[in-house]
Amino acid sequence: MSQTRAKGQREVALLLNGTKLRTLIHNPEELPMKAFPAALVRMLPALLAALLLSACAQTPPNTAAVPEFRADPAWPQAMPDRNGMQLVFGQVAGIAVDPRNGHVWTIHRPGTLLPDERDPKTSKPMTHRCCEAMPPVAEFDAQGRFVRGWGPTGTGFEWPKSEHGIFIDDDGNVWIAGNGDNDNQILKFTPDGKFLMQIGHAGKSEGSNSTTQLGRPAHMIVTRGELFVADGYGNQRVVVFDAATGAYKRHWGAYGGRPTDEKMPAYDPAQPPSRQFSNPVHCVRMSHEDLLYVCDRANNRIQVFTRAGEFKHEFRVETPTLANGSVWDMVLSQDPAQKFMYVADGANGRVYILRRSDGQQVGQFGRTGHMAGEFKWVHNMAIDGQGNLYTAEVGFGRRVQKFVRSGGGF
């Protein structure tokens, strides 16, 4: 074989080993033609196309299908003014998407405005322009425009002292809770703020096996006529009520067992997983196949149950994390198979992308900080029908963000 022919064939091998292949199908003149007999040259376009199809068929799964997200710095749009006074968020303790129209709802803590925004001594704005708190409950359209907001008006219910958690059901009703010391109730309102129902009462907790009282509930969802509650900052359980009447139905603790209220030792990654939920039990989410995912925040894990409370399995997340834990919230991707779990880690300022089949981390985004796309105590999440994510931050984060899905799954 001549040296020219051998050199040309080495170049061919290099060209075929990569993305250059796609270009060569349409531009075969880029090949070193001296490496081929004349008859073979005429067949090169067809051969290259066949090679490309074969390479695509052998692409490993779960490499190109992982979703990617980018922060949308223009969402939400500018907050409204009230009589020339700027409205601002305090700690945003909950976020949810209305399944009917894709509108985004938030709940925040008006009492957490900073001293340079609102004078704590006089309860008045510090200047003639700044600031007043946004209404505790606020609705934004899909473009991030403020639609409406409301707070406690009327009688017959006990508004929480420290707002925490929000959910919008299929009828558009708004469910909220609180995690103050005596916030042991959940409230249900119409979209315009008309009171509908209260479960539990403000005051003393009755513990993790009460059938009438809650324990600083953190989060809730409604599915197939049942209200599932992550209960919570005081109790160590999941509890289920009839969503129409508020009647108690069932409850359970970690691994589907009976919960206790004994003080648990602090999480230690070197020890076996706790047989009890820690505080707070921070989120509940239901999959298409009726599996309930529960955030055991400080134990760095997600436990999975049937809707009846039978334990199935658990996923451990960022296990070295101490302090406030790594599993603050999670949502499931919107593809039919719900291939991914998106997990908010407030302690480490991350959102993890996990495969739902085995809990393997396949991606992540975010870092601790205050710039667009960064997090300071990312606390809750929501997902819309297009697979875009929305996050809410407490502490000194005090904002909401939108992350647009680009490529990959949902």
Q: What is the pLDDT of residue 329?
A: 98
pLDDT average, residue stretch 132-143:
97
pLDDT average, residue stretch 101-107:
98
For the chain, what percent of residues have pLDDT higher than 70?
84
The token pair that represents 407 in the structure block: 């490529």
Q: What is the pLDDT of residue 316?
A: 98
Residue 387 has pLDDT above 60, yes or no: yes
Buried b (16+ CB within 10 A) or exposed e, 182-198: bbbbbbbbebebebebb
**Are 200 and 160 in contact, with CB atoms under 8 Å apart?**
no
Residues 98, 102: Cα–Cα separation, whole Å: 5
**In this predicted model, what pLDDT tens digit does every residue of 194-240 receive, in sequence order?**
999 999 999 999 999 999 999 999 999 999 999 999 999 999 999 99
Is beta strand 130-133 parallel, antiparallel or unpaired with respect to 85-88? parallel
Query: Cα 212 from chain centroid?
Result: 29
Q: What is the pLDDT of residue 3?
A: 52
Identify residue 105 by its one-letter amino acid code: W
pTM here is 0.84
Residue 32 has pLDDT above 90, yes or no: no
Q: What is the pLDDT of residue 290?
A: 98
- With H, G, I as helix, E, B as strand and everything else as coil, classify residue 403: strand
With a CB cutoff of 8 Å and minimum separation 6, the contacts of 301 are 273, 314, 315, 316, 317, 327
Residue 28 has pLDDT above 80, yes or no: no
Percent helix, strand and coil across the chain, each to the nearest 5: 15, 35, 50
Residues 248, 216: Cα–Cα separation, whole Å: 17
Nearest to 213 by CA among 225, 224, 205: 205
Residue 327 has pLDDT above 90, yes or no: yes
Residue 295 has pLDDT above 60, yes or no: yes
Residue 160 has pLDDT above 60, yes or no: yes
DSSP-assigned beta bridge partners for residue 106: 95, 138
Buried b (16+ CB within 10 A) or exposed e, 93-102: bbbbbbeeee
Residue 35 has pLDDT above 90, yes or no: no
Alpha-carbon radius of gyration of the chain:
26
How many CB atoms are closer than 10 A to CB 404?
14
Minimum mean pLDDT among 21-25, 128-132, 219-223, 326-330: which range?
A: 21-25
What is 74-406's CATH superfamily?
Answer: TolB, C-terminal domain (2.120.10.30)
pLDDT average, residue stretch 150-176:
97
Query: Which sequence spans correspond to the domains of the chain?
Result: 3-57, 74-406
Residues 122, 113: Cα–Cα separation, whole Å: 13
Residues 385, 388: Cα–Cα separation, whole Å: 7
How many CB atoms are closer than 10 A to CB 248?
15
No. of helices (H) and no. of strands (E), the chain:
3, 29
Output the CA–CA distances (angstroms, integers) from residue 39 to 33, 34, 47, 90, 385, in the order listed.
Answer: 11, 12, 13, 74, 54
Is beta strand 163-168 parallel, antiparallel or unpaired with respect to 174-178? antiparallel
